Chains A and B, each alone.
Chain A
Amino acid sequence: MGETTTFFRAAARRDPRRRATAESAWVRRLLIVGALSFLAVFLFVPLVSVFAEALSKGLGYYLHTFRNPRTLSAIILTFIVAGVSVPLNCVFGVAAAWAIAKFDFRGKNILVTLIDLPFSVSPVIAGLIYVLLFGAPGPFWNWLSDHDLKIIFAMPGIVLATTFVTFPFVARELIPLMQAQGRTEEEAARVLGASGWQTFWRVTLPNIKWGLLYGVILCNARAMGEFGAVSVVSGHISGGAGTLGTITIPLRIEVLYNEYNTTGAFALASLLAFLGLVTLALKTWIERKKTAALHAAEMDLKA
């Protein structure tokens, strides 16, 4: 049934004589032109203009931006923050997906909804909650200042805020994937004598690797680009030679922009835009791998 439907669907779309379920040529052209014009104004023009603005004063000036010690410390800080937040959310995502996909328990739907919660919370509020918790009026403030520890207006706060806004990415990617794959393969491995860890490393991980990579890539793009939440907890302390400060790449872009160094701001922005394009390319590539893996799982289930 599945194969014949696909065949007829393909035939219906390719065969120009089938007028009854296809639009006339001019309607088709009108719709394509309409959709592409909208995307051109809202996507292509902004994307092209990032790189055009970045290079508007020539390649020399472009590279000059990246030699500034404050910009360099912002880049290093961003990599450190993403380097902590992404693995944290990655471990969490795998653990949550394992619990949710491989076992039955009450309240599972509520748990899945709660995991998605950070997506419906404003980044500004994501920053605010940590200021309330660890900032001057908060419950931990006295203890923290007694021990000379800083969370807000320091790197730990930036890591926490970034972790919050990127919290669901890996989990929400893995949960449906592992649910679709079921638990039979792992159960077989156990029955054949594999330990729990062996089962995970040899059976589960190869099955979920594309989904995991997909989640990690999206998580990383958001972690490196987060602005609102980080802005609230940052304290905007400039880094420089020897010190890291609390300015990440997006915050540094804002500083340059507000200093009327528009070209510098766009040069640094082009770095993030390039990261975005790489993310999209990897995402498209992995999506194909992922669908193939899911298809294989479905075929196994039928067999």
Chain B
Amino acid sequence: MDKAEMLELYRQMVLIRLFEEKCEELYQKGKIGGFMHLYIGQEATGVGAVAARQPQDSLITGYRDHGIALAAGMSARTAMAEMLGRVTGCAKGKGGSMHLADINLKFWGGHAIVGAQIALAAGLAWADQFRQTAGCTLCFFGDGATNISYFHEALNLAAVWKLPVVFICENNKYGMWTPVEKVSAVTEIRRKASAYAIPSDSADGMDLLDVRAKTAAALAHCRAGNGPYFLEVHTYRYRGHSMGDQRPYRTQEEIRKWQAEDPIGKFEKVLLDSGIAPAEIDRVDDEVKAIMADAVQFAEASPVPDDSEIWTDIYVEN
């Protein structure tokens, strides 16, 4: 990887971190409504995986979608405007935090019914297979989604139809407040793929380069017409399941242990070791701070949708 690309991936991770911190602040001030799930701690998963995709490849995820949206290339302005329910948001203020999407980036959302995106991913991939676009689909979901029927139905169909999907389980160890081992008979999630004869691998979610390399290998498998691939990425969310989650279901010690492996800090060290000057890294940090300040200003200055907008976009043909 050349220096420019390394700095770009670093920039994306910092952007996600600062975007999420700003969202947290604005949510606490009451400027963002609804449910909101932060990606802090999981940045290397989204950025690493998306970095491996080619332009014809599709992305889809669940409600913890800010990181994937930004990694896909959505501007901080557009994403923040959606958070604030403004007409300049990616969904014109109709989706909110859990429903970010941009068809032009082949980012198909932000789906907040647990596991539904896994079923939709099979369909996206089927369309690409049928139309011979050479496109694959990267489908992100949490460990909790691997216990729902969509997961099993979609993996089975993808295997039977040899669909070009990479199923990426972001195993952040908890489904809401419940640890994996309390709700899943199989705790090594990748083993579930073997029930559907889907090959699998695991990646260190705190290591961007590992996620990127494993995703690239998975995509190569799919693109060669071998059917789906399953990647379990071990990661951790520093914050709660959603905003306002103060429950004591995990120890400070556990959180500190993962933070010591912080994906941004880890990758910064890779940059320094590869000879990138600290000043260049600082410049990226400053640039991202400016982007975030601009994004918030843009979103706050944007108009809310007109009330008449409730009647638009219900049907294509009325």
Is A bound to B?
no
List residues of B whose CB falls within 8 A of some A CB. none
